[in-house]
Amino acid sequence: MTRIDAKFAELKAQGKRAFVAYVMAGDPDYDTSLELVKGLPAAGVDIIELGVPFTDPMADGPTIQRAGQRALEAGMTLQDSLDLATEFRRVDDTTPIVLMGYYNPIYSRGVDRFLIDAATAGIDGLIVVDLPPEEDDELCIPAQKAGLNFIRLATPTTDDKRLPKVLQNTSGFVYYVSITGITGSAEAQADEVGPEVARIKAKTDLPVVVGFGIKTPEAARAIAGVADGTVVGSAIVSKIGGGEPPAKVLDFVKSLADGAHQA
């Protein structure tokens, strides 16, 4: 059982939904990012989604693209992202960390080396948005053999014919993208998301967590009410990008987490 599996079991026993917060590693710099990440669990975050900055983030909207650019300009690398996770693990050995990014930096490092280093750093799961199920032998299956969950995205365009392929070899949870498009581009609607979550849950026993387009505590509560949890990224990252101090960012995160936990 991974930390992700344990967290969902714990939340289920408590009758609570998961709140997942996304932040970009190294945004706006390593030290500030580490301070933020260390503060997330106390702000109510159940799972941390840690973005790895990349030069061509095709699935990300402008807010997260700018976050990645700030991190890259600050010198952030894949190794630095793993180092940040290692530092976090010195103070927290229970909160799951999902590393989210693109395959190129992993491929450049070498899959075998990366998986060893990620496990050593305390990473629990991976979301690699540019590796489809047809490429599972590249990273998904080796990651699961190394004890890491490989989390797949389902979208509004994932029809019933495609869904089984998406769910194959997925573990930890299914990440349902609530809107068609890039991150931060529209607002998620619970009445539209609910039937899609139910459709996915009919095909898998994994928790289904919804992300993209969730910007307020009210939206987090509404979406968590029709899913096993909710993810907020762009709304948090925009606060960081606006220069708000970590304490204020974490206050905002807590309001989002409280909303999700009230569902």
Domain boundaries, the chain: 3-261
Spot the catalytic one: 27, 49, 124, 196: 49
Q: What is the CATH number of domain 3-261?
A: 3.20.20.70
pLDDT more than 70, % of the chain: 97
Condensed to tens digits (0 to 9), the pLDDT of residues 67-103 reads: 999 999 999 999 999 999 999 999 999 999 999 999 9
CA distance 58 to 130: 9
Mean pLDDT of 156-165: 95
Judge residue 119's burial from the number of C-beta atoms within 10 Å of its C-beta, 0-12 exposed, 13-18 middle, 19 or more buried.
Answer: middle
Residue 59: which pLDDT band, with cuts at 50, 70 and 90?
A: confident
49 is catalytic: yes
Q: Which residues have a Cβ under 8 Å from the Cβ of 101 and sit 6 or more positions away?
A: 51, 52, 53, 54, 78, 127, 128, 129
Residue 182: which pLDDT band, with cuts at 50, 70 and 90?
A: low
196 is catalytic: no
Q: What is the pLDDT of residue 183?
A: 56
Condensed to tens digits (0 to 9), the pLDDT of residues 236-251 reads: 999 999 999 999 999 9
Spot the catalytic one: 5, 27, 60, 136: 60
197-206 exposure pattern, b = at least 16 Cβ within 10 A, e = fewer: bebbbeebeb
Q: What is the pLDDT of residue 119?
A: 98
Judge residue 247's burial from the number of C-beta atoms within 10 Å of its C-beta, 0-12 exposed, 13-18 middle, 19 or more buried.
Answer: exposed
